[in-house]
């Protein structure tokens, strides 16, 4: 089919503060405003579609309306808000904890239009203590939320599905997706920073769902540390729905994500002394409290072998902030030279890079692209790091 193009999409970006300075995601950076996200995505990161995940907040809805009224953006008739170089998808993250969840579970919902998001926000307001904040607990059964999302032509996606906190599979109990959700009303599954396609494919029950890889950014710089490339006709909501259903050549053609080893919850570590511990054994410090890593968790959950779905490649990438000695000033120089991070990470040659930065950093960027850097694995809430002594 002709007329298809590739779009870079990061669909899990939080908002730190509203225009009036009110906190939305309290733990997120104050500089993470709606305006800054739009600008940064286009000029620094090279992202085509941003999923802004706190659009249920009434003041944010108001800001978006204002942007449309001022002519800064328009709502596409196929859904999505089109700014000059970026499209915004209206998203929200909510915390569910009904009697089947066995602990809080985060999910994402996306809606095609402002009106639908406003309707959902009002519905949330009746089931939530404070809808001016991000990722709040909803007092409602999961399947009823799913039905509401579908009724409003939205998409329902379990978020960061394997992280040890607030996720579907991260808890210490063996839980199937069917026990918590209506499997027919799930549109995709978000992998999260400590897992990738190969790891998630150990769960056969996920075989029907597309995987999303998003940044869950709490600051501007963290945007696009994970994203996907989607092949479709236009950057619109309807086209995205068609891409998830793989209609007529559309689809996610690659997931780009952090090497899971760099994720904060890859290894299992002792909650007391922070050292790595072996599965089913107490730590040498005597403590039995552990923060279970995603890799161990997935092994426990993995089902019997069966046929797995053909999937787009999951490409491990190492965000520039992990490259040793690559500080703020150097990053600025690189952006001035190469336009945006996508160009540096994926296409600049070593010679081109060396014209702007030290040979050491240029080598490291190329080695990161080829998966040749040595990684000390993350765990227990601490990111992994690059440990090559020399390149
Ligand atoms: Zn979350
Ligand atoms: Zn989030």
Least distant ligand from the CA of 216: 2
Measured in Å, residue 53 CA sits from the centre of ligand 2 at 7
What pLDDT does residue 391 have?
Answer: 58
Measured in Å, residue 290 CA sits from the centre of ligand 1 at 21
Measured in Å, residue 381 CA sits from the centre of ligand 1 at 14
Query: Could you tell me the pTM of the whole model?
Result: 0.92
Measured in Å, residue 41 CA sits from the centre of ligand 1 at 21
Topology annotation, domain 5-258 = TIM Barrel (3.20.20)
Measured in Å, residue 159 CA sits from the centre of ligand 1 at 6
What pLDDT does residue 1 have?
Answer: 63
Measured in Å, residue 262 CA sits from the centre of ligand 2 at 18
* pLDDT (tens place) for every residue of the chain, 391 residues total: 679 999 999 999 999 999 999 999 999 999 999 999 999 999 999 999 999 999 999 999 999 999 999 999 999 999 999 999 999 999 999 999 999 988 999 999 999 999 999 999 999 999 999 999 999 999 999 999 999 999 999 999 999 998 888 999 887 677 889 999 999 999 999 998 888 998 899 888 998 899 999 999 999 999 999 999 999 999 999 999 999 999 999 999 999 998 888 888 888 888 888 888 877 788 888 888 888 888 888 877 776 666 667 899 999 888 888 898 899 999 999 999 999 998 898 899 999 999 999 999 999 999 988 888 888 898 888 888 888 766 5
For the chain, the domains span: 5-258, 321-372
Residues 6+ apart with CB under 8 A from 236: 76, 78, 79, 80, 87
Least distant ligand from the CA of 134: 2
Measured in Å, residue 7 CA sits from the centre of ligand 1 at 24
Measured in Å, residue 181 CA sits from the centre of ligand 2 at 19
Measured in Å, residue 125 CA sits from the centre of ligand 1 at 19
Least distant ligand from the CA of 12: 2
CA–CA distance, 277 with 122 (Å, rounded to integer): 46
Least distant ligand from the CA of 137: 1
Least distant ligand from the CA of 215: 2
Question: b vs e for 169-197, b when ≥16 Cβ sit within 10 Å of the residue's Cβ?
Answer: bbbeeebebeebbbeeebbbbbbbbbbbb
The CA distances from residue 263 to 76, 115, 162, 382, in Å, are 36, 37, 11, 8
* φ, ψ of residue 180 in degrees (nearest 5): -105, -40
Question: Ramachandran region of residue 319, left (φ > 0), alpha (ψ -120 to 50) or beta?
Answer: beta
Measured in Å, residue 93 CA sits from the centre of ligand 1 at 7
Topology annotation, domain 321-372 = DNA polymerase; domain 1 (1.10.150)
Least distant ligand from the CA of 165: 1
Measured in Å, residue 170 CA sits from the centre of ligand 1 at 12
Least distant ligand from the CA of 217: 2
Q: Residues 340, 43: contact at Cβ < 8 Å?
A: yes
Measured in Å, residue 116 CA sits from the centre of ligand 1 at 22
Measured in Å, residue 13 CA sits from the centre of ligand 2 at 7
Sign for the pseudo-dihedral over CA of 330, 335, 340, 346: negative
Least distant ligand from the CA of 14: 2
167 C-beta neighbours (distance < 10 Å), count:
23
């Amino acid at each position: 089919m002709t007329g298809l193009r590739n779009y870079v999409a990061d669909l899990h970006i939080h908002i730190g503060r509203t225009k009036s300075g009110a906190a939305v995601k309290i733990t997120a950076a104050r500089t993470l405003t709606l305006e800054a996200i739009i600008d940064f995505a286009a000029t620094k990161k090279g992202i085509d579609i941003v999923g802004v995940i706190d659009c249920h907040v009434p003041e944010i809805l108001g800001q978006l309306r204002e942007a449309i009224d001022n002519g800064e953006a328009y709502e596409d008739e196929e859904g999505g808000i089109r700014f000059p170089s970026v499209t915004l998808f209206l998203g929200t993250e909510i915390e569910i904890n009904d009697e089947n969840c066995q602990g809080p579970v985060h999910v994402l919902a996306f809606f095609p239009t402002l009106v639908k998001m406003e309707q959902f926000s009002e519905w949330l307001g009746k089931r939530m203590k404070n809808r001016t904040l991000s990722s709040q607990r909803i007092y409602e059964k999961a399947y009823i939320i799913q039905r509401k999302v579908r009724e409003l032509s939205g998409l329902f996606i379990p978020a960061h599905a394997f992280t040890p906190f607030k996720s579907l599979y991260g808890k210490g109990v063996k839980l199937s997706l069917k026990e918590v959700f209506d499997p027919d009303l799930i549109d995709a599954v978000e992998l999260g920073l400590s897992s990738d396609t190969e790891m998630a494919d150990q769960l056969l029950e996920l075989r029907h769902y597309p995987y999303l890889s998003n940044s869950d950014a709490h600051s501007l710089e963290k945007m696009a540390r994970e994203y996907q490339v989607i092949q479709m006709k236009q950057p619109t909501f309807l086209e995205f729905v068609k891409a998830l259903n793989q209609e007529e050549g559309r689809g996610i053609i690659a997931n780009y994500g952090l090497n899971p080893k760099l994720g904060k919850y890859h290894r299992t570590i002792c909650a007391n002394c922070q050292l790595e511990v072996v599965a089913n054994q107490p730590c040498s410090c005597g403590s039995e409290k552990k923060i279970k890593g995603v890799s161990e968790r997935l092994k426990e959950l993995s089902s019997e072998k069966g046929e797995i779905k053909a999937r787009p490649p999951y490409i491990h990438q190492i965000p520039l902030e992990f490259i040793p000695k690559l500080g703020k000033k150097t990053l600025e120089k690189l952006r001035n030279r190469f336009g945006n991070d996508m160009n540096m990470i994926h296409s600049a040659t070593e010679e081109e890079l060396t014209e702007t930065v030290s040979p050491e950093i240029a080598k490291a960027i190329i080695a990161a692209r080829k998966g040749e850097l040595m990684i000390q694995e993350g765990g227990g809430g601490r990111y992994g790091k690059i440990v090559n002594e020399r390149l």
